[in-house]
Amino acid sequence: MLRAFAFNIVPAGMVSAGISLTLNHFTGLCLMYWPWTVLYFAAFVSVLYPLSMQRVKDKDFTAFLLFALSLKMILAFCIILLCAFLVRAWFGAFSAHFLAHFVVFTVFELVFLLKLIRAQARSGEAGRPDQSGIRARGVSDRSANSDR
């Protein structure tokens, strides 16, 4: 899974950098501080990925995932709000770059987490007895239990 982590964070950084370079070159939203926002999201995701890999087997994984995504969104909102009050001169450019990086890293993060959950589900199903025979014959669980 560490390899999947590396294959998610590097492309996310590259896509974010490409978006920022495109925004700088083709629009009036020029910002020379965009690498800092990419580093911010890369650092946040670098902390979140290993924690997610450790907790995927726990019962409270969904609660952890919801907490982590909510924390990421709240911190992003606070940073944009702070920028709005402190540096109004380049607030529009900063928020465009920051939100683009937020969306890119969130998409790559969700793709990684889906792969992680699917891998865990496959490994968890290997140890369970096969109960698909009842459903495959077209008999529902209720009618199978009512015959007893």
pLDDT tens, residue by residue, 22-67: 877 777 777 777 778 887 888 887 777 777 777 766 777 778 888 8
Q: How many Cα neighbours within 13 Å face the side chain of 106?
A: 15
At 135 the pLDDT is 47
pLDDT per residue as tens digits for the range 65-86: 888 888 888 988 998 898 888 8
Name the more confident of 126 and 4. 4
pLDDT per residue as tens digits for the range 113-134: 788 778 777 876 554 444 444 4
Whether 107 has a pLDDT exceeding 70, the answer reads yes
Q: Which amino acid is at 29?
A: L
Closest C-alpha to 144, from 24, 135, 12: 135
Closest C-alpha to 97, from 45, 48, 44, 35: 35
Whether 100 has a pLDDT exceeding 60, the answer reads yes
Name the more confident of 94 and 126. 94
